[in-house]
Amino acid sequence: MDPATVDESPSRRRPWWQNKYVIYDLVMNVLLIGFNVATFLYIRHYKIPLVSSIDHMIEFLVALYCLANIVGVATWVYMFKKIPERPFEGGVMGVAHICGVILLILFLYSISLAVALIIDSTSLNPINRYLSLRGPAANQGKKIQVEKRMRALTWLVYRCST
């Protein structure tokens, strides 16, 4: 009797759910989409104005982010279905990740007081907006306290950034 022959040729590629590049892309996409949706809902709930120096920049980034995600997923499917012998090396979702991070930074810039202080834009300061809504006569003493705290916080942010 002949011993059974065993095919010892290595498999050409792992399934997609075992590929570390695909897992990285999926986790990054889920996290970025979750963070962006959460910050956008926070902005909408508290009626915070979006900060953008260029008109329609956020809409452009959202469209580019969606398009890059669609192209990335189409590239995954094409690579795994049409070219099975070539190892998948990842890197197809890099543009989508960059767009998602930039979008998240813009949303956080609209929300965060510390980021607004780093840029040193007093018009973005929510404390100034709050005090201007309550009236100047009611807030003279409080406004001086807030200005001292803001100067101290600005100095602290400046010292930490240098």
Q: Which residues of 38-72 are buried (b: 16+ CB within 10 A; e: fewer)?
A: ebbeebeeeeeeebeeeeeebeebeebbeebbeeb
Q: pLDDT tens digit string along 16-26?
A: 777 788 888 89
Q: Other C-beta atoms within 10 Å of 85: how many?
A: 6
Q: Cα(44)–Cα(57) distance, rounded to whole angstroms?
A: 18
What pLDDT sits at residue 122? 46
pLDDT of 68: 92
pTM score over 0.85: no
pLDDT of residue 30: 95
pLDDT digits (tens, 9 = 90+) for 58-115: 888 899 999 999 998 898 888 888 876 676 666 778 889 999 988 888 888 888 766 6
